[in-house]
Amino acid sequence: MNMGLSPSVSRVLALFLVIAPIGAVYSLVVEPILDAHRGYAESIEGSRELIERFGRIGATREPLERQLADLQKRAKSTSGYLEATLAAAQLQNRVKRIVTRNGGSIGSLQTLPPQKERDLERVSIRIQMTAGIQQLQKIFHAFENGRTHLFVDDVNIRVQKTRRTRRRRKQPVVDERILSVRLNLFGFARREGS
């Protein structure tokens, strides 16, 4: 069946029939494969960059772990303990601050001889002070809840006097008891070399 096409149109049509399947194969098969290959190449390059970055971060891990272990060891060894070299002075200063901050007054502070208990040194002071009932409660609470572990021993409390006070005008007179308190307070310090 000859449609009467000119030879040049026939050549162009023949050329088109040869190129069209090649183009279709390229766009349907080859181009998706090349696009996937480009995507894989980009993904591989991104993964290499991540591996390099994680490698740099991983190189800092061991020194940081050693530093963390050292800090944790130091924190465990000093937490709750007095500093060994200045333990008695540190304890006296702390007691003075707590008592005066909470409304009490110190009559005397006496450092007692240190006692060895296993690898610790027990640092004790004897305190004589005066305070009201509410102030004494606050003082004992501060002793108990500080960062350094403190323990109260041999407590002797006596009513020293009763003071009658009126908080404001037109309020009833309140009897306020002033307590005389004697106690031993102690904490622990790690001995040198332990």
Same domain, 53 and 104: no
What digits encode the pLDDT tens for the residues 102-121?
989 999 999 888 888 877 88
Residue 128 has a pLDDT of 95
Task: State whether 52 and 129 are in the same domain.
Answer: no
C-alpha–C-alpha distance, residues 34 and 39, integer Å: 9
On whether residue 55 sits in a domain, the answer given is: yes
pLDDT at 168 over 70: no
Answer yes or no: is 76 within a domain. no
Structural domains counted in the chain: 2
How much is the pTM?
Answer: 0.51
The answer as to whether 167 is a domain residue is: yes
67 within a domain of the structure (yes/no) = no
pLDDT more than 90, % of the chain: 18
Q: What is the pLDDT of residue 80?
A: 54
In a domain, 75, yes or no: no
Give a yes or no: residue 81 inside a domain: no
pLDDT, tens digit, 9 for 90 and up, residues 122-146: 889 999 999 988 899 999 999 888 7
| Model confidence pLDDT, tens digit, residues 174-188 | 667 888 999 999 888
Tell me: do 53 and 142 sit in the same domain. no
**Cα(156)–Cα(154) distance, rounded to whole angstroms?**
7
Tell me whether residue 52 is in a domain: yes
Flag whether pLDDT at 192 surpasses 90: no
Selected residue with higher pLDDT from 162 and 193? 162
Confidence tier at 5 by pLDDT (50, 70, 90):
confident
User: What is the spatial distance between Cα 40 and Cα 186, in angstroms, rounded to a whole number?
Assistant: 70
One domain, residues 40 and 99 = no
Residue spans of beta strands (DSSP E) within 6-114: 105-111
Give domain status of residue 66, yes or no. no
Domain that holds residue 14: 7-59
Compare 99 and 20 and report the one with higher pLDDT. Answer: 99
The reported pLDDT for the residue numbered 75 is 57
Regarding whether 97 and 51 lie in a shared domain, the answer is: no
